[in-house]
Amino acid sequence: MENAKDFFICFFDNSKEFEKYLRLMKRDRTWGDELTLRAMCDYYRVTIHVLTSTPGFGGYYLKYGENESKNVFFT
């Protein structure tokens, strides 16, 4: 993410918040999020499929691929 700062910085209000986020993500035992999935797909040039479920709300199928993302809600 540091090497692709121009892409990821737009998800933060300013560069200070982005730097704080990067410090947090570097810590051991820190859970990743959608941005880290996006970064992993681009770095390793792979596609990641994520199925989520929330009781009573259906779920989401999330597909992250190099330079693309797709989110679909299903019930």
Determine contact, residues 59/51, Cβ cutoff 8 Å. yes
pLDDT in tens, 7-46: 899 999 999 999 999 999 999 999 998 899 888 888 888 8
Q: What is the pLDDT of residue 75?
A: 41
Tokens coding 70: 């797709």
Tell me the sheet residues that pair with 50: 62
The pTM of the full predicted model, rounded to 2 decimals, is 0.71
Length of the chain: 75
Tokens coding 46: 């792979």
Domain ranges of the chain: 5-74
**What is d(CA 57, CA 74) in angstroms, rounded to the nearest whole number?**
9
